[in-house]
């Protein structure tokens, strides 16, 4: 399995793109502005999109991508997430006012996109790659994902602050090779991190102690312009783990 980082910033500006991770060439996790890195031909290959939540930085390019695919698609593109996220997409995005309801176009029998709500505990297997939602703790209903294939396991936290659930679920399972975890804010924004339910370096340091696995760790979702500071604070506070920064264009082989 190959994971290509299309976007991993907490915002935009210059080269920065928001969250979108491409698994092999047919599956996306989140659909932030990173999608703009895909060529039209690459976009045509995407058949499945798993969303962590409906904050704009994670769905910004979903409506535009679906629209671009409209003339090309032969089968519906599957949009999967927890039921609450699906309801938000229907009510607030694909509602004819913001964007057309592409789940009914060109026809309801064969639309360009189709929703599939997932429940916690469901395992969705696509060509040997299994996706499972992991409970996290963000200001709106949000999940992380654990993705397993024959050669390994990657987990992505989505947006979250301190929690037990994500770490407990990962610990219950036997393997974790790569962990992609958010750390949105610098240390002086600890209060804001708690309020908006993101990690800052000290909150992440406390939670990483809960993880029994020793995966490769990539930090993501830093606020634009704060990347160096956040990374150096994480390195000071998390001394027993090797940390790397996730970067746009990076390809991780699992």
Q: Can you give the binding site for Zn ion, defined by CB under 5 A?
A: 55, 57, 159
**Residue closer to Zn ion (CB basis): 29 or 73:** 29
**Residue closer to Zn ion (CB basis): 48 or 55:** 55
Alpha-carbon distance of 226 to 175, in angstroms, equals 32
- Residue 154's nearest CA partner among 132, 138, 136, 172 is 132
Alpha-carbon distance of 131 to 128, in angstroms, equals 10
Report in angstroms how near the CB of residue 184 gets to Zn ion at its nearest: 7
Report in angstroms how near the CB of residue 58 gets to Zn ion at its nearest: 6
**Residue closer to Zn ion (CB basis): 55 or 186:** 55
Report in angstroms how near the CB of residue 108 gets to Zn ion at its nearest: 31
Q: How many Cβ atoms from other residues are within 10 Å of residue 15's Cβ?
A: 10
Q: Are strands 251-253 and 2-7 parallel, antiparallel or unpaired?
A: antiparallel
The angle that helices 201-208 and 227-237 make with each other, rounded to 10 degrees, is 40
Q: How many Cβ atoms from other residues are within 10 Å of residue 70's Cβ?
A: 14
**Residue closer to Zn ion (CB basis): 17 or 55:** 55
Alpha-carbon distance of 204 to 190, in angstroms, equals 11
**Residue closer to Zn ion (CB basis): 53 or 129:** 53
Report in angstroms how near the CB of residue 123 gets to Zn ion at its nearest: 24
Which helix or strand (DSSP H or E) is residue 155 part of? strand 152-156
Report in angstroms how near the CB of residue 20 gets to Zn ion at its nearest: 11
**Residue closer to Zn ion (CB basis): 162 or 171:** 162
Report in angstroms how near the CB of residue 211 gets to Zn ion at its nearest: 21
* H, E, C per residue of 71-106: CCCCCCEEEEEEHHHHHHHHHHHCCCCCCCCHHHCC
Place of tokens 């990657």: 154
């Amino acid at each position: 399995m190959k994971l290509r980082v299309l976007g991993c910033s907490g915002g935009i500006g210059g080269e920065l793109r928001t969250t979108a991770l491409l698994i092999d060439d047919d599956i996306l996790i989140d659909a932030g502005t990173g999608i703009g890195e895909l060529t039209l031909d690459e976009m045509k290959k995407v058949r499945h999109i798993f969303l962590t939540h409906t904050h704009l930085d994670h769905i910004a390019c979903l409506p535009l991508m679906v629209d671009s695919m409209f003339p090309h698609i032969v089968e519906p593109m599957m949009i999967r997430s927890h039921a609450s996220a699906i309801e938000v997409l229907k009510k607030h995005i694909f509602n004819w006012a913001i964007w057309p309801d592409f789940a009914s176009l060109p026809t309801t029998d064969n639309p360009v996109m189709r929703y599939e709500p997932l429940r916690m505990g469901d395992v969705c297997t696509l060509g040997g790659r299994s996706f499972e939602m992991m409970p996290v703790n963000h200001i709106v209903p949000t999940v992380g994902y654990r993705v397993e294939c024959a050669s390994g396991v990657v987990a992505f936290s989505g947006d979250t602050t301190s929690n037990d659930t994500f770490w407990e679920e990962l610990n219950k399972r036997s393997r974790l090779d790569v962990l992609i975890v958010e750390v949105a804010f610098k240390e002086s924004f600890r209060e804001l991190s708690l309020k908006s339910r993101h990690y800052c370096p000290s909150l992440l340091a406390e939670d990483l102690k809960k993880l029994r696995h020793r995966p490769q760790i990539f930090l993501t979702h830093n606020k634009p312009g704060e990347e160096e500071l956040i990374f150096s604070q994480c390195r000071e506070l998390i001394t027993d783990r090797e940390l790397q920064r996730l970067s746009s264009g990076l390809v991780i082989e699992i």
